A and B are shown apart, each in its own frame.
Chain A
Amino acid sequence: MLDILKQPILSFQEYLSLAGRATQNIIRRPFYAQDVLLQMDTIGVGSLPITVLIGFFSGAVMALQMSRALSQYGAAGKVGEITAITLVRELGPVLTALLVAGRNASGIASELGSMKVTEQIDAMRALGTDPLKKLVTPRLIAACVMLPVLTVIADFIGLFGGYMIAVPLLGLTTSTQYWTTSYQSLVYNDLTQGLLKPFLFAYLIASIGCFYGMRTSGGTQGVGRATTQAVVAASVWIFVLDLFLTRIFQ
């Protein structure tokens, strides 16, 4: 029994050690500002088109699904409120995080994994650079800054998607009522969890991607394995963390 648990516990301990040291490096010299900006571009700007697309359709689908149920109770005017709360609290952070996990946890793991198997990480250490400072910390910072921004964009685009369904297409409510109820329904608690969730999800995505990338072994096959493991682990932990955060904010 203990032998079965030994490996996962060891891996978790290694993950905590990597994440802890990478976090400490945020305030330690040298700072690789250029690498942070480059990663912000890759993670943030690179993920923008797909975030906008998914944000729009998730908002539209949400409004469409709600329209029938709300109409039954004569509350069709509440569609903006429901869409806003659902998007800001839950769908925006989780869907955006899952998209970024799929796109960037895999990207980070495969990039670092390739560097590991081609001895570029060892070369970096041998040439005087701490790979954690140069490779992991910039990705952590970039993800933690860009995912909340992407989430806010996804929330707005989602609300706009909901508006397109609720107002011009189905005529459930007026434009003013839709935007007013959307705005008024949100309280500070919603906004706090709507921003804290993507921040913590981003930390998970980047650290898990880096962890699997940095421990890659076994050539190109190993890179593929690390990539898959990173996406699966990041996605699962997003949902686990989401449950805990939602419970805390209830």
Chain B
Amino acid sequence: MAEECILRFEDVSIQFDGDDAPALDRVSFELLAGETIVLVGAAGSGKTIILKLALGLLKPTSGRIYLFGREVTNYREEQWYDVRAQAGVLFQEGGLFDSLNIEENVSYPLLNQKTISLSPAAVHQKVEDALQFVGLAGTLEKFPSELSGGMRRRVGIARATVTEPRLILYDSPTAGLDPITANRIIALLLKEREIRNTASMIVTHRFQDGHMLASFRYNPQTDKVLKVAAGEKHAHRTRFFVMRDGRMAFVGTEDELEASTDSYISKFTLQRA
């Protein structure tokens, strides 16, 4: 049986007013259920734009976008709300609402998605579970400004996953974080993938993040991440896309990426050394 296609881009381009060149130029790819795509590339290469197009936060100039089997290219804003209810997103800085406390932030999608109808007690329980998942159980009453950058990112993950979406988009989840906190964040992404088998796209500048996602797995019994054997890598189906000036310069596995001799592409794998 063919696997469900969660997200599909067909020759998608976008050009902003006043720009000479398109910010994204004829990009095509498919993201299947349970698959992980790691998007790497220089700043301004179009990584975040792909995430925003996938969620309808930007409209493409040309091409077609399919999300959960529906063509959403020309969806109106009202039509998007039902589709977005099945997707979670972590924005670059967490995108938390300053004026709401952590409980209100995490419960926001549960209370505002039209397709979700839960009792206040059930919402509270789900929020507690989501915060427990990211190791921030005691922060319900705190405000985002009272948390560190890493904690805010973890609250963002809790908010993105609280509705148990079929697709999660992570925009630079480790940007600006120290290596220890960054690894903790990626461990959470591994945990989410392992437990819920969610399709995900991760925008990152760090090859190490992609390497962890491709080569490690979360063990629910020991609550630790473990390196997988070389032959097991395919089980996790992590693909790497390298973006360059709005185009896909590379699509492949970690091994293929590491084997690339292209000077631009190899810059990202060199980070590991």
Contacts and interface: CB of A to CB of B under 8 A. Distances in A.
Interface of A: 114-115, 118-120, 122-130
A127 B91 contact: no
A177 B56 CA distance: 66
Interface string B92-111: 11011110000000001100
B84 interface: yes
B269 to A, nearest CB: 29
Interface string B76-93: 011011001101010111
Contact of B57 (A115, A118, A122, A130): A122
Given A122-B52, A122-B57, A123-B89, A128 B114 contact: yes
Nearest to A118: B93
Interface of B: 52, 55-57, 77-78, 80-81, 84-85, 87, 89, 91-93, 95-98, 108-109, 112-114, 159
B155 to A, nearest CB: 12
15 contacts: A115-B97, A119-B93, A119-B95, A122-B52, A122-B95, A123-B89, A124-B97, A125-B55, A125-B84, A126-B84, A127-B113, A128-B84, A128-B109, A128-B114, A130-B78
B30 to A, nearest CB: 22
A128 B95 contact: no
A122 B90 CA distance: 11
A118 to B, nearest CB: 6
Nearest to A134: B112
Contacts of A119: 91-93, 95
A123 B97 contact: yes
A123 B159 CA distance: 10
B172 to A, nearest CB: 11
A163 B81 CA distance: 58
Contacts of A124: 97
A124 B91 CA distance: 11
B55 A127 contact: no
A13 B109 CA distance: 32
Contacts of B96: 120, 123
Contacts of B92: 119
Given A125-B57, A128-B84, A128-B109, A120 B114 contact: no
A122 B113 contact: no
B128 to A, nearest CB: 19
Contacts of A120: 95-98
A167 B159 CA distance: 64
Contacts of B91: 119, 122-123
A126 B54 CA distance: 11
A114 B96 CA distance: 12
Given A120-B95, A128-B114, A130-B78, 9 more contacts: A115-B98, A120-B97, A120-B98, A123-B89, A123-B91, A125-B57, A125-B77, A126-B84, A130-B81
